[in-house]
Structure 1
Amino acid sequence: MKPTIRDVARMAEVSISTVSRVMNAPNSVVESKRNRVMEAVERLRYQPNSFARGLIYKKSFTLGLLIPDIENLYFAGVIRGMQDACIKLGYSLMICNTDRDKERLLSYIDNFHEKQVDGIVFASDVLYPEYHDKLVGCRIPFVLVSSHSDEFDIPSVEVDDEEAAYDAVKFLIDLGHKDIGMIGFNHDNSVSGPPRYEGFVRALTESGLQQNIMKSKYASHRFEHAYQAAHELFTDYPELTAVFCVADEFAMGTISYLKDRNILVPGQVSVIGFDNLRMSSMFIPKLTTIAQPIYELGYRAAEKLHELLTTGEVQVLNEKMEHKLIVRESTREK
């Protein structure tokens, strides 16, 4: 028969309420009793009943995660970080893939509400007013990861996209490149596209290379779209010697296009990406890129949501994590 909390209390010679406090607020129990309870838990191999625990504390101890594209390797890192944090903090994790479809996302919020999740992490997408209103209406606390809101005061954690893009383009300029293009996200459905474009523009403007600003094409988040955008970019601007791509997957699509046209990378064109996906060091040539702390972003998002759930507020509303330039093989001096 599966051991119960009553069995643990009997073996440890404490009350059932003491066992419960050890499970949920261990620092509130004196060390001697806490040690006896933990020893009994170990010997009996006791596992708390999460459903009963939820009834007692009026919590499900479950967090929800809304991501726009589960096939994108970026989100694998975010999920891994958030999952590890949930294990540490005592939560289960439910993941929903929205495909950037508004109706699907709104229905997932309803599903999370029905499942009584304690809070939601909203990842890497635009927080449209209808999303905000739905979450507020359902009274579900939420935080943003790899996103932010200019309209609403919502806790968020991300990198400084504008500064990171600036650093990428400035690196190309410092290598001696003067004909620089960009493959970016479509701005109408991207939260990071506009600030990364602004970083591109600022770096060019500061260096007196404003003539490059129009040398940009846009794609919809996937390799094959970037491949087509690269075709359009080099058809219009064959003189380019360097390209800033706002995602590693875009950089891979660009390099693949150039390879198919027998254009050498980095011999004739330097390409820099953004993210530092695991694949970026396996690709040929290995990608020079801007590294986001992807795992840490997911981990911190869960911690931030836990902070909001337990205290009702967060100390830092809009948190910025550090990015880093990783120089590999896809760039060289002009």
Structure 2
Amino acid sequence: MNPTIKDVAQKANVSIATVSRVLHNLGGYSDKTKQKVDQTIKELKYQPNAIARGLINKRTQTIGVLFPDVSSTFSSDLLHGIDEFVHDRNYSVMVCNTDQDGKRTLKYLQLLREKQVDGIIFSSEVLKQEYYDMLESMKVPVVLVSSQTDYANVPYVKVDDYQAAYDAVDYLITKGHCSISMISGTKGDPIAGTPRVEGYRKALEAHGIPFASRYLVYGDFSYESGCRAMEAILRRTPEITAVFAASDEMAIGALSVVTKHGMNVPEDISIMGYDDLRLARMVNPPLTTVRQPLYDIGMIASEKLISMIETGEPAESQICTHSIVERQTVRAIT
């Protein structure tokens, strides 16, 4: 039979309330008492029961995180920040892979309802009305990451995608590039697709460079789509001197295709990404990119969510600062 919190209290010669306070880091006990309780927990191999805890404080100390693609480096970098913060606050993370088209989103929201999670981080997907209605019925707080909504009670944490793309293209233009192709994310995507395309177009316009539709190719943020898009660019617009990709994975795909065709980056074509994933530092040559601080975004979103869970108070949305990270895939044209 598994040991109970009562067994721990009896063996450590303290009250059940004291054991509970030690488990939840609530204070009100001496260091000596904490050491005695911790040692007893180890000796008895006691495992706190999440369901029992939930009956007491109405919480399971669990949050749900929904990603369209949990295998992507983007999701991994975000999750690292999320997990780091929630672990320090004694929460656990349940990760759900909703798939690119969101066809599993409602299914996973129902699962998270059944698991009685305390809150949800919703990443990189439009918060549709049906999702919002489900979340409202669950009566748990939610924070959006790398997404945005007009629902007043749903805060979001992201960078300004329009401005970040504008700054990336402006950077290429200041390096002397006038023929700049863009590999966009999913066509019509209002979160990370359309705003980045608009930033690209406005930066060209600001420098008196006309927009040419043939220079704009759509992908889906993945490495494979970057490869396909770069093949199309080399066929259709061989005169381009630079490519701005709306994700690092697509930029790395473009880089691999350019190399496969016997060309050099940045001598023949400059390539710039978006995200500053860990992969951007690993490729050869290292990728110049727009940095969105994914780890920090994950941490901030977790902090906001846990604050909402524990205080019942709303949280403010936050736009995080992006920056240009110069490495070795963009050259200046003199």
The within-5 A match list for 1:110-149 is 110-149=110-149
Tell me which moved more, 169-178 or 33-42: 33-42
Return the offset for 1:14. Answer: 4.6
Letter in 2 for 1:38: K
C-alpha distance in 2 between matches for 1:137 and 1:6: 36
Contact 2:51 2:60 in 1 (8 A): yes
1:301 aligns to what? Answer: 301
Return the offset for 1:13. Answer: 5.7
C-alpha distance in 2 between matches for 1:255 and 1:43: 55
C-alpha distance in 1 between matches for 2:284 and 2:48: 49
C-alpha distance in 2 between matches for 1:311 and 1:112: 21
Aligned residue pairs, count: 329
C-alpha distance in 2 between matches for 1:102 and 1:6: 45
Contact 2:183 2:226 in 1 (8 A): yes
Letter in 2 for 1:211: F
Contact 2:188 2:194 in 1 (8 A): no
1:172 aligns to what? Answer: 172
What SS does the aligned partner of 2:104 have?
helix
Q: For residues 201 and 150 of structure 1, do their structure 2 counterparts lie closer, same or farther at Cα, with a shift above 3 Å needed?
A: farther
> Where in structure 2 are there 5+ consecutive unaligned residues?
none
Letter in 1 for 2:112: F
1:38 aligns to what? Answer: 34
> Where in structure 1 are there 5+ consecutive unaligned residues?
none
The within-5 A match list for 1:41-80 is 41-44=37-40, 45=42, 47-80=47-80
2:326 aligns to what? Answer: 327
C-alpha distance in 1 between matches for 2:313 and 2:198: 31
Q: For residues 19 and 42 of structure 1, do their structure 2 counterparts lie closer, same or farther at Cα, with a shift above 3 Å needed?
A: closer
The within-5 A match list for 1:1-334 is 4-6=4-6, 8-10=8-10, 14-24=14-24, 26-27=26-27, 29=28, 33-44=29-40, 45=42, 47-150=47-150, 153-189=153-189, 191-212=191-212, 215-315=215-315, 317-334=316-333
Q: For residues 42 and 102 of structure 1, do their structure 2 counterparts lie closer, same or farther at Cα, with a shift above 3 Å needed?
A: closer
Which runs of 4 or more aligned residues in structure 1 lie more than 6 Å from their structure 2 counterparts after TM superposition? none
Return the offset for 1:150. Answer: 3.4
Contact 2:215 2:233 in 1 (8 A): yes
C-alpha distance in 1 between matches for 2:139 and 2:251: 40
Letter in 1 for 2:119: G
Tell me how large the CA RMSD over aligned residues is.
2.1
Q: For residues 141 and 107 of structure 1, do their structure 2 counterparts lie closer, same or farther at Cα, with a shift above 3 Å needed?
A: same
Return the offset for 1:98. Answer: 1.0
| Percent identity of equivalent pairs | 40
Contact 2:62 2:91 in 1 (8 A): yes
C-alpha distance in 2 between matches for 1:299 and 1:196: 24
What SS does the aligned partner of 2:208 have?
coil
C-alpha distance in 2 between matches for 1:238 and 1:12: 75
State the TM-score, normalizing by the size of structure 1: 0.91
